[in-house]
Amino acid sequence: MRTEQLLLIGNGMAGVRTIEAILERNSTKYEITIVGEEPYTNYNRIMLSHVLQNKMTVDEIITHPMQWYKDNDIQLIHHDPAARIDTDNKRVITASGVCIPYNKCIIATGSRSFILPIEGAQLQGVVGFRTIDDTMQMIEQAKSCKRAAVIGGGLLGLEAAKGLIDQGMEVTVVHLEKWLMETQLNEQAGQLLKKDLEQQGIQFLMEKKTARIRGTTKVEALEFSDGTVLEADLVVMSVGIRPVTGMAKEAGLHVERGIVVDDFMATSAEGVYAVGECAEHNQMTYGLVAPLYEQANVLADVLTGRVTEGYRGSTVSTSLKVSGCDLFSAGIIHERDDIKAIEAYNGLANSYKKLFIQNNKVVGIVLYGDTTEENRYYKMLRDKVDITTLNPVTLLASACGEASISVANWDDADTVCGCNGVTKGTIVQAIHTQQLTSVAEVTRCTKAGNSCGKCKSTISELLTHVIGDKVTAAPTGICACTHLTRDEIVLQIHEKGLTTTKEVFQALHFRNAEGCSKCRPAINFYLHVTFPREHTDEKESRFVNERMHGNIQKDGRFSVIPRMRGGQTTAQQLLKIAQVADKYKVPLVKITGSQRIGLFGVKKEDLPDMWEELDMTSASAYAKAVRSVKTCVGANFCRFGTQDSMGLGIKLEERFEYIDTPHKFKMGISACPRSCVESGVKDFGVIGLENGFQIFIGGNGGTEIKEAQLLTTVETEQEVIDLCGAMIQYYRKTGIYTERTAPWVERLGFEHIKSVLLDQEQCNSLLAELEEAVAGKRNDPWTTIRENESMEKELFTVGRG
C-alpha cells in the first residue's frame, strides 16, 4: 500500500529517470505526482539536434508517452507549473494556486539557456537551444530567414549550427575563444574540428565579443566590440546554461551556482532532494546525461531504503552529434606542472589523439577523427590503470590494436552505454534473464542506447554474441507515428477510400495527427499510386529537394540540374547554362553521373530566378521518381553500336519522366554488349543486340552493388517501353517507400516478378494503370516549374520539411 507522497518538480530526463529507478526498486512505496513546465511528456533532450538536422521527429524523441504515466499511476501536471515550495508545511504551490502536499520532494528543474544581457537580446528572432519549442521555432524561422548567427562555439552551438545549415540557412558561428569547444578539446583538436565544419558550410568568427544585437522589432545584425557588424535575421544564443534555482532559493534552500546537495542528493531542507543540472555537488554542476543518471540511481536507493555509498562525483566524457566530425573527450584535458601529455597526429587521415598523464595514470583523453579507441582509453582512465610499463609510443600504438577487440572480449564491468552508465554485464544478464532478442528490447529493459544512440551497434554485436541467430528486429510501423506497416496502410486506404494524408492520419489513428517527416512523404506517395485522379499531390508533404527542384548540399546550398533527355543537349542550352552560371557566380559546373550538366552551390533565394532564366525543366535528379536515362551514342555514331540507344533513351524518358516511384529509378541504354553505360547495374537496363534488346532489372550501383538480372530478350523498341512501364507500375504498387528495386526484387522474388511482367494480360493491366497515373501527373502543374508563376514563388519560398 502506498503510504507516502512523492512529488517531483521537473519532468525532464534526470527527474523521470529517478522515478523509473524508484519504481524498479519498489513500485508500491509512493503515490507519485510530477509537475512539469513544458507541455510535453518526458523526452530525450539530447536528440533535439537530430530533430533540427532532420534526422528524427519530435515524436521519435518522446521517451515516456502519456500511457507510461497512466500505467504507473503517476499524476502528471504539465499545464500548471510549480511556482513555490513551502518547506515548513511540506507542500508545493502551482502557478494557479493549487497546493500539492508531499512527504518527499525531488527538485529536478534542470537548466535554461543563458541569454547574454546585451541590448537587443529581447528582439524577435533571438532564441536559445534547449527545448522542443526552441527547436521548432528555429525550424519555423528557417523557412523565411536566410542568415543565422550562432553565438557560442560549444557543443550545443555547433549542433545548432549544423542543424540550421541542414535547414538551408547561411550560418556563422561567433565564438569568444581562440578555438572551438575549448572546455572539452585542446587547441589542435579544436582547429581540426573547425576545418571540418567549414567544409560543411559553417562560417566562423573567432575571438569575437558580441556587444549588441541591432534591430527595431526583429533581429537585423550583430555588432561586435571591435565595431564590426554581421548581418543576421536569426540569432541562436548558445553561450552556456544556468541551473534553474529560483524556487529553491526563495524557499530558503542553500543555493550557490546550483542547489547544494550532499552525497545522498539531500538539500538543506528536510525531505527535499535535488538531482540533475540544477544540483550542485562538491562545487560541481553537470550538464551531461551520465552524471545525472548516476545521481538518479543514488537517490532512488536513498528513497527506497537501500544501502548506498552515495554519489562521489563523475568523470564526464563528451561527443559531438554532427556527421563527419567524430570526437571524444574525457577527464582533465589541460597540461600543468603535474600533468603531462603525449599525442599523435595523422595528417593523411585527419585524426588526432592526445592522452594526459598524471602519476603514471591516464587522467584525460582527446580523440578527433578516429574515436574507435575511446572505450579502451576510457577504461584506463576509469580504472586508473598503471601505465608505467608502457612508453609513449607503445601506449599510443597498443591502444590502436586493442580497438579492434570484439565486445565479446570486454570485461563485464566495461561500459557499453556511457550516457546511462550501462555495463556489458548488466546487458548480458538482462538478455539471459528476460530473454531479450532485439536491440529495442535491450534498450527498453536496460536504458542502454536510449540517449544518444551511439552504442546501438555495440548492443547489436553483444546480442549476436549471446544468442546468435535468435536476434530479431523489433516489429515497427513505417515510423514512430504508427504501428501499421506499408501493406496495412495501403489496404486501409483502399477499403476506406482515403484520399488525403489528413484522412489517413485520422482514420488510422496515427499518434501524431499531422504525421511526421518520415510518414508524410510515404503516405502522399501511397495515396497518389492508389487514387491518381482523386488524390491531389500535397506539395507540403514532399521532401525539400522535390519542393525546391534542387538537391540540398552539405553546406546548405543547392544543386540545379536541368533535364537533357537521353543526355543530349544543344548549343543554345549550353549557352543558357553558361550565362546563368556566370551571372549567379555558381561555384561548380560539373557533368553528372547521369550525363547531365549540374550547377552546384546555388543559394536558395536564387533558385526561382535561375530556373526562369534557364527555361528548362528539372531533371528530377533528387526525386524519388523516374530519373534521367543514361545512354551511349549508339549505332548512329559508334562503329560497335547495334541499336539507336539515344533515340530509345529519349523515348523512355519522355514516356515516364516525373512518375513517382518508391525510390529513385535509374535506366541505362547501351547499344551493344560492351555496355558503356553500365546497364547491368541499373534498375532497368537495356543492351542492344543485332536483332533486338536484352532487358535487365533490379540492378543497383550504390553502396551495396547489386547486379541486375536478365528478364528477357525482345525484338522491338515498343516491347522495351511496354515492359519498362509494366515494371515501373508493379514497383509502384508493391514497393515500400524508400525501397530500391534491388531489395524489392529480393523481397518479392525475381521469378515472381518475371512471371507478372511476361504475362501479357497482367502486363497490359499494369500499363493501363500507369497510363492513368501518367495522365494525372501530366495534369499536375508541379511537373513544370514555370507553368504557374504564383505557385512557383510559393514553392520556392517554403522551407524544409
| Better-scored residue on pLDDT, 342 or 514 | 342
Q: Which residues pair with 642 in a beta bridge?
A: none
Strands (E), 10-65: 30-35
Give residue 322's pLDDT band: very low, low, confident or very high (50, 70, 90): low
pLDDT of 401 > 50? The answer is no
Per-residue cell: 405? 577487440
Across 1-152, the runs of DSSP E, i.e. the strands, are 4-9, 30-35, 75-77, 82-86, 91-94, 99-101, 104-107, 111-113, 126-127, 147-151
Q: Which is higher by pLDDT, 721 or 450?
A: 721
Least Cα distance to 60 among 444, 518, 436, 484 occurs for: 518
Instruction: Report the chain's mean pLDDT, rounded to a whole number.
Output: 86
CA distance 15 to 8: 7
**pLDDT number for residue 771:** 87
- Read off the pLDDT of each residue in 742-749 and give the average, rounded to a whole number: 91
Q: Report the alpha-carbon distance of residue 733 to residue 504 in Å, rounded.
A: 18
User: How far is residue 598's CA from residue 621's CA, in Å, rounded to a whole number?
Assistant: 9
State whether residue 597 is helix, strand or coil: strand
Q: Which residues of 190-215 are buried (b: 16+ CB within 10 A; e: fewer)?
A: bbbbbebbeebbbbbbbebebbebbb
What's the CA gap between 43 and 62, in Å, rounded?
4
State the pLDDT at residue 280: 96
pLDDT top residue among 407 and 632? 632
**Other CB atoms within 10 A of residue 266 CB:** 17
Tell me, what DSSP letter sits at residue 798? -
Each residue's pLDDT tens digit, 168-178: 899 999 999 99
pLDDT tens for 495-535 read 888 999 989 988 888 877 777 777 888 999 999 888 888 88
pLDDT in tens, 91-142: 999 999 999 999 999 999 999 989 999 999 999 999 999 999 999 999 999 8
As a three-state string, the secondary structure of 92-106 is EEECCCCEEECCEEE
Q: Does 223 have pLDDT greater than 50?
A: yes
Using alpha carbons only, what angle is made at residue 364 by residues 360 and 369, rounded to the nearest 5 degrees? Answer: 125
| CA dist., res. 618 & res. 603, Å (int) | 17
User: Could you tell me the CA-to-CA distances from 605 to 146, 170, 172, 548, 610 in Å, in that order?
Assistant: 8, 11, 18, 10, 10
Residues 19-54 as b or e (16 or more Cβ within 10 Å = b): bbbbbeeeeebbbbbbbbbeebbbbbbbbbbbbbbb
What local confidence, expressed as pLDDT, does residue 533 receive? 81
pLDDT at res. 465: 85
Pick the closest to residue 329 from 267, 280, 394, 378 (CA basis): 378
Strands (E), 419-501: 422-423
Q: What is the spatial distance between Cα 136 and Cα 115, in angstroms, rounded to a whole number?
A: 18
Q: How far apart are CA 365 and CA 439, in angstroms?
A: 29
| Per-residue model confidence as pLDDT tens digits over 7-33 | 999 999 999 999 999 999 999 999 999
- Answer left, alpha or beta for residue 749, where phi above 0 means left and psi between -120 and 50 means alpha: left
* pLDDT, mean of residues 691-707: 87
pLDDT at res. 788 = 36
Q: Which three cell numbers stand for residue 759?
A: 504475362
Q: Interior CA angle at 643 toward 637 and 647, to 5°?
A: 75
Return all residues near 499 (Cβ < 8 A) that are at least 6 apart: 527, 531, 534, 535
Type of residue found at 271: G
Q: Which of 786, 358, 760 is nearest to 562 (CA)?
A: 786
Contact 462, 427 (CB under 8 A): yes
pLDDT at residue 790 in the model: 37
For residue 723, pLDDT over 90 is answered with: yes
Integer Cα distance of 20 and 147 in angstroms: 42
Give the CB-side neighbour count of residue 256, counting CA atoms within 13 A: 10
Handedness of CA 511, 517, 523, 524 (dihedral sign): positive
The answer to whether residues 244 and 109 touch, using CB atoms and an 8 Å cutoff, is: yes
From CA 337, how far away is CA 359, in angstroms rounded? 12
Q: Could you give the 3-state DSSP secondary structure of residue 373?
A: coil
For residue 406, the model assigns a pLDDT of 67
Summarised one tens digit per residue, pLDDT across range 276-310 is 999 999 999 988 888 898 999 999 999 999 999 99
3-state secondary structure of 381: helix
Q: What is the tens place of the pLDDT at every residue in 636-688?
A: 888 888 999 999 999 998 888 888 899 999 999 999 999 898 899 999 999 99
Task: Indicate the pTM of the whole model.
Answer: 0.64
Check if the beta carbon of residue 516 is closer than 8 Å to that of residue 479: yes
Query: How do the residues of the chain divide into helix, strand and coil, expressed in percent and rounded to 5?
Result: 35, 20, 40
Measured CA to CA, the distance from residue 626 to residue 667 in angstroms comes to 8
Count the Cβ atoms, other than its own, within 10 Å of residue 406. 10
- Enumerate domains of the chain plus CATH numbers: 4-111+243-303 (3.50.50.60), 115-239 (3.50.50.60), 326-405 (3.30.390.30), 415-470 (1.10.10.1100), 486-541 (no CATH), 624-784 (3.30.413.10)
Torsion of CA 396, 399, 401, 405, to 10 degrees: -170
Residue 419 has a pLDDT of 67
Cα separation, 365 vs 342, in Å, equals 10
State which H helix or E strand residue 494 sits in. Answer: helix 486-496
* Contact indicator for 351, 370 with CB cutoff of 8 Å: yes
Half-sphere exposure of residue 198, counting CA atoms within 13 Å on the CB side?
11
* Pairing of the two strands 234-237 and 126-127: parallel
Provide the pLDDT for residue 779.
45
438-452 residue pLDDT tens: 887 888 788 787 766
Q: Kindly state the greatest CA–CA separation across the chain.
A: 97
Contact (Cβ atoms closer than 8 angstroms) between residue 129 and residue 48:
yes
pLDDT value at residue 219 = 94
**Alpha-carbon 738 to chain mean position:** 16
Cell numbers of 270, please? 528536510
Q: What is the pLDDT of residues 49-64, one digit of tens each?
A: 888 887 778 887 888 8
For the ranges 369-373, 387-391, 479-483, 570-574, the maximum mean pLDDT occurs at 570-574
- For the chain, give the percent of residues with pLDDT over 70: 92
d(CA 533, CA 733): 15
Amino acid at site 518: K
Grid coordinates belonging to 392: 609513449
